[in-house]
């Protein structure tokens, strides 16, 4: 490999890129990684980690409300957005530093510049410097998609919401996917009036329909408004700094902030992949094979930029598999079957395997077991919200095809239960397990 400056050059220092870089280095490769902003990527810097911290912070509103029935009283309780925001951003700084130390301890050279592909074995930095590498790994992730409409420049995305100067009193959120509904729950709990606007009448497309319906009912009861079949027409800024949001077939909505959460797309614009003969997919994604190799043998891609499954743990596994395959003499692929996922809405929902609709279309003959219950904590706090667990089972084998739940701590419970679904266990295996009482998780082995 003496003909190249590096054995591996990674473009993008998110979860997938960092894992690939450090594992390749541990296999003896000479590795450099380029990042134009900060080490850690979407998840650590502007995604799941800081967002989950905001979820935790906002959940105290519910806890304080319920606390009275548990014997607690609080006088003059108040919320300080700036304090929460700054503490969250401080934790992002901490994690950024840890990622930098990880790369440093593995001997990976960090280059804090934008890098683009400039041929099959060359990258070009924003400074003009060209670097050669035997292998190039593209791991630049995705980026929020903002539709074109008049006044779209007045809107923010999930990138900017963590840096708001103040908590807006009135928020309009465009979109009804997981990012939109997570921020809707956060802002609603913190005291903002939230209106969710969607082009269709479906929220959380891809999740089980029963859970989607339950979440819609609960969030509406909490004060979140929904406007369906309402494409944006334009946004007009008022003299007082507020905005008039014009929707098709609706009266304008006044908002102090407009959050566009209409999806994310691979961040491949201007990346120079055409110089290596790589053609992008229709959504801008990089097509790869099972080993994450592109149509150019020396260039690979992992994570959201490939648009396979946009989840941090998946990107990490792809980065690991790439490094083991190319530098560890251990060909490895990622199993995308039964990947669990969660939406940290309020309440949260989580699922693994096939939804009821997917199972019927694939297997035809299925059976659905469920538990529709009011968690003990909610009963005592006089909160009417109900949890819902569903087990999708193949007939006649009784193999569990999918497990879906909405309710307090659903993601925490699902992670362990996902192991059972991945292992191919049956409904009888669940029934044979003694319940852990009193808990919400015991509903998993009591479903009828």
Per the annotation, binding residues are 52, 175-182, 263, 304
Annotated binding site for NAD(+): 175-182, 263
Question: Does the annotation mark 437 as catalytic?
Answer: yes
Q: Three-state SS across the chain?
A: CCCCCEEEEEECCCHHHHHHHHHHHHCCCCEEEECCCCCCHHHHHHCHHHHHHHHHHHHHHHHHHHHHHHCCCCCCCCCCHHHHHHHHHHHHHHHHHHHHHHHHHCCCEEECCCEEECCCCEEEECCCCEEEEEEEEECCCEEECCCCCECHHHCECCCCHHHCCCCCCEEEEECCCHHHHHHHHHHHHHCCEEEEECCCCCCCCCCCHHHHHHHHHHHHHCCCEEECCCCEEEEEECCCCCEEEEECCCCCEEECEEEECCCEEECCCCCCHHHHCCCCCCCCCCCCCCCCECCCCCEEECHHHHCCCCCHHHHHHHHHHHHHHHHCCCCCCCCCCCCCEEECCCCCEEEEECCHHHHHHHHCCEEEEEEEECCHHHHHCCCCCCEEEEEEEECCCCEEEEEEEECCCHHHHHHHHHHHHHCCCEHHHHHCCCCCCCCCHHHHHCCC
User: Active-site residue numbers?
Assistant: 437
């Amino acid at each position: 490999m003496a003909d190249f400056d590096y054995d591996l050059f990674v473009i993008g220092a998110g979860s997938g890129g960092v894992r690939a870089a450090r594992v390749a280095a541990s296999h003896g490769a000479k590795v450099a990684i380029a990042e134009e902003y900060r080490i850690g990527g979407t998840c650590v810097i502007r995604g799941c980690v800081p967002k989950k911290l905001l979820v935790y912070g906002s959940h105290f509103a519910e806890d304080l409300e319920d606390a009275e029935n548990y014997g607690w009283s609080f006088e003059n309780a108040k919320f300080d957005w700036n304090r929460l925001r700054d503490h969250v951003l401080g934790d992002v700084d901490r994690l950024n530093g840890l990622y930098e130390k990880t790369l440093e301890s593995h001997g990976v050279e960090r280059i804090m510049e934008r890098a683009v592909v400039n041929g099959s074995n060359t990258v070009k930095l924003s400074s003009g410097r060209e670097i050669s590498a035997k292998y190039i790994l593209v791991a630049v992730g995705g980026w929020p998609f903002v539709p074109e409409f008049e006044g779209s420049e007045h809107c923010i995305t999930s990138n900017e919401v963590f840096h708001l100067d103040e908590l807006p009193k009135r928020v309009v959120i465009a979109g009804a996917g997981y990012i939109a509904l997570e921020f809707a729950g956060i802002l609603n709990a913190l005291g903002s009036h939230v209106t969710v606007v969607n082009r269709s009448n479906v929220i959380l497309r891809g999740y089980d329909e029963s859970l989607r319906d339950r979440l819609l009912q609960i969030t509406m009861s909490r004060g979140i408004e929904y406007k369906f079949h309402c494409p944006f027409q334009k946004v007009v800024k008022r003299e007082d700094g507020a905005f008039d949001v014009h929707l098709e077939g609706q009266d304008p909505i006044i908002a102090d902030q407009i959050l566009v959460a209409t999806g994310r797309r691979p961040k491949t614009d201007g990346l120079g992949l055409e110089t290596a003969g790589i053609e992008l997919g229709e959504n801008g994604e990089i097509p790869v094979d099972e080993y994450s190799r592109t149509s150019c043998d020396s260039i690979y891609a992992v994570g959201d930029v490939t648009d396979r499954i946009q989840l941090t743990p998946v990107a990490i596994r792809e980065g690991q598999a790439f490094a083991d395959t190319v530098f560890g003499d251990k060909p490895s692929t990622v199993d995308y079957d039964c990947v669990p996922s969660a939406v940290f809405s309020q309440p949260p929902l989580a699922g693994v395997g096939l939804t009821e609709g997917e199972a019927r279309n694939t297997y035809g003959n299925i059976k659905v077991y469920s538990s529709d219950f009011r968690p003990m904590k909610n009963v005592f706090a006089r909160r009417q919200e109900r949890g819902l667990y569903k087990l999708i089972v193949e007939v006649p084998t009784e193999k569990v095809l999918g497990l879906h739940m909405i309710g307090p701590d659903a993601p925490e419970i699902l992670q362990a239960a996902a192991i059972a679904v991945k292992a191919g266990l049956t409904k009888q295996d669940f029934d044979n397990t003694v319940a852990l009482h009193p808990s919400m998780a015991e509903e998993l082995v009591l479903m009828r």
